[in-house]
Amino acid sequence: MSLNQIERAQGLRIRSTQDFAGGLFMILLALGAYAFSWDLPAGSLRQLGPGMLPKAFAVICGVLGAILTLTSLRYHGEKLSGWSWKGVFFALGGACLFALTIRGFEIGPVQVPALGLLVAGPLLIFFSGLAADDRKLKELVIFALAMSAGCILLFKYALSLPIPLAPWLLGI
Amino acid sequence: METLSHLSLGFGVALTLKNIALCFAGCLVGTLIGVLPGVGPIATISILLPITFGLDPTGALIMLAGIYYGAQYGGSTTAILVNIPGEATSVVTTLDGHQMAKQGRAGVALGTAAIGSFFAGCVATVIIAALGAPLTKMALLFGPAEYFSLMVMGLCFAVVLARGSILKAFCMIMLGLLFSTVGTDLETGQERLTFGVASLSDGIDFSVLAMGVFGFAEVLRNLESPEARDVVKGKIGRLLPGWDDIKQSIAPVLRGTAIGGILGILPGNGAVLGPFASYTMEKKIAKDPSRFGKGAIEGVAGPESANNAGAQTAFIPLLTLGIPPNAVMALMVGAMTIHGIIPGPQVMTRNPELFWGMVASMWIGNLMLLIINLPLVGLWVKLLQVPYRLMFPAILIFCCIGIYSVNNQPLDVAFTALFGLFGYLLIKLGFEPAPMLLGFVLGKLMEEKLRQALIISRGSFMTFVERPISAGLLVVAVLVLAIALLPSISKKREEVFTE
């Protein structure tokens, strides 16, 4: 019995966790998109309605996802590898901090005034810099300040983009 | 002669002091960011997009084109010096380029790449100038049905030419198309898939998607694996190739330019095949193929010329038909739209200065790269030694300021972070995000053309098959897909992309 036949004899099982998860992911997205475009009229062929294409694309996505899931049972492929939660938390968290502080926000009882680039910049660099395994705090602080100063000069003054600098301190 | 008068108009626009300065600045910053390992041309352009916002459209496009070439060339520099390809097309350069660098001939490799690219760029500029006018005339004959079929064909090419599994590339294209339907419906004004979020009613912002998936997600991907940067330690050596090197590389440069130039015109990312095809060809016709992979100069000269020629002729479908052939060009569409220009055949007739100015600035940009890069190689090497722990926060702040500046909306930054997470998920699931961007950009246009075509034909799908040009394009699309799915070819395809 050749190796191929032995493989086949073992029947269906998940041979590529990456493709399997990818297929499920596509199916999930497709179901979501289909459900949310449920109310949109599909119209007729002569006059396509707003719902026609979203639904059509969602169906195709779902079918492709199903095929991908099935092939993952038949053919070998990549395995899923672990996530870098640290990267997600610090790097994306840093970006969210930037979004929250640049012009201030108000969510229920929490209020943050518009802090501007002068604060949001170093905050973003410092917080996201924590994601690196080989971080050095002192170096990071100096880099955060220097890089922010550079960005302020470049974007605010050299390119004169209308980005708030420090409304609470300088009024601009 | 028409071509000459067009080119002289273009050079008249491009050679003003301001536009030369913009082209120079674009090339410089493009290389600066493009040189960073793990930052490909797509990420470079999305990061640098905001610095063009304050400019007039012509200046902005000239600068963007400069950034694009700079990013391309920066990618080759990283490939040669660090063995990290910034994007698919510079994978080939790492094979022999990095070996040359290890043998102390990094300078010659960089010099050959620059000179080969410059030559390819000159030829490609002439091709664009020569083909621009006739193709635009042809494009004006295209009705909605032809446009729709052309885009279908482009997407089929993109599926076939994507790296990795065809099925997964197909998934990404469809996902991009699905994303493109988010937002207010153009005809009925009904909101689709917006979840009641006000900023989604204009659809998903292009720069938010691009920067999330290519800027943020790349950072996450790079953070995850401990860095293995293999920066060439020894000396760079002299930059100008010697007489022997030149003799060896003339023929590969010529062949590479021809291959890359032709493949670049194809809709659907033909340019990506150029370097692979050129490398394979050089290896086949070489007297001693065993030298390849061990620092053969032909393995740098050919693919690099093909890369640059393709990078430039890829502008042809965009400028004449308004259809971006790959993700980078999709980004250019986004950039042009921000400046109020809808790419397509009408650009050349309505804004001839813009069109020809950009074409002329392509040539100037290539010359600029030669002038900037050869003396600055030392600086790039220094930059390559900056540790990633400092590099990625810098990339992040550039992205954040950029995204904020598109609409002055902090919420956009948060959305970008969300798409960053989404892009990271895609990477983890083994999906290549570039086809998604292409699908996203083409999606809106496809829907519009599909609706128009169906209205004209009174709801009959036969219109796509009855009109000869449209039918021809669809036949090509089906053929390409069918051929790629043949078992023997698909095996070959895998080899090409893994070599």
Condensed to tens digits (0 to 9), the pLDDT of residues B357-401 reads 888 888 888 888 888 877 888 888 888 888 888 889 998 998 898
Residue predicted with more confidence, A112 or B400 = B400
End-to-end CA distance of chain B: 44
Residue B290 is given by DSSP the state G
- pTM of the complete model: 0.86
In the stretch 371-390 of chain B, residues with CB closer than 8 A to chain A read: 387-390
Domain coverage including residue B342:
2-498
CA of A114 to nearest chain B CA: how many angstroms apart? 11
Nearest to B174 among A18, A46, A61 (CB): A61
**Which one of B177, B193, B413 has the shortest CB-CB distance to A98?**
B413
In 3D, which of B19, B4, B5, B9 has the Cα closest to residue B365?
B19
Chain B, nearest residue to A150 by Cα: B394
CA B465 vs CA A15, B147, B352, B384, B461: distances in Å: 41, 13, 35, 53, 8
Flag whether residue A142 sits within 8 Å of chain B, measured between CB atoms. Answer: no
Is residue A93 packed enough to be buried (19+ CB in 10 Å), middle (13-18) or exposed (0-12)? middle
Nearest to A54 among B181, B397, B411 (CB): B181
Distance in Å, alpha carbon of A64 to nearest chain B alpha carbon: 6
CA of A10 to nearest chain B CA: how many angstroms apart?
24
Note the pLDDT of residue A95.
93
**For residue A159, how many other CB atoms are within 10 A of its CB?**
17
Would you state the pLDDT for residue B228? 63
Q: Which of residues 311-370 of B touch A (CB under 8 A)?
A: none
Q: Which of A25, A47, A124 sits opposite B396 (nearest CB)?
A: A124
From residue B36, alpha-carbon distances to A165, B121, B216, B293 in Å are: 28, 23, 15, 24
What pLDDT, on the 0 to 100 scale, is given for residue A125? 95
pLDDT value at residue B226: 64
What total of structural domains would you count in chain B? 1
Greater model confidence, B395 or A14: B395
Phi, psi of B192 (to 5 degrees): -120, 130
Q: Which amino acid is at B248?
A: Q
CB B447 within 8 A of CB B147: no
| Cβ contact, residue pair B393, A134, below 8 Å | no
Q: Which residue has the tokens 């069918």?
A: B482
Of B178, B195, B428, the CB nearest to A54: B178
pLDDT tens by residue, A60-100: 999 999 999 998 887 777 788 878 788 899 999 999 999 99
Given a cut of 50, the residues of chain B with pLDDT beneath it are 499
CB contact, 8 Å: A118 with chain B?
no
- In this prediction the ipTM stands at 0.90
The residue of A34, A48, A97 whose CB has the most chain B CBs within 10 angstroms, and thus the best one to mutate to test that interface, is A48
A67–B167 CB contact, under 8 Å? yes
- On the question of pLDDT at A104 being above 70, the answer is yes
Q: What pLDDT, in 10s, does the model give residues B271-319? A: 778 888 888 888 888 888 888 888 888 888 999 999 889 888 888 888 8
Smallest CA-to-CA distance from A97 within B200, B211, B393 is with: B393
The pLDDT of residue A1: 46
Predicted pLDDT at B406: 80
Establish if A89 touches chain B: CB-CB under 8 angstroms: no
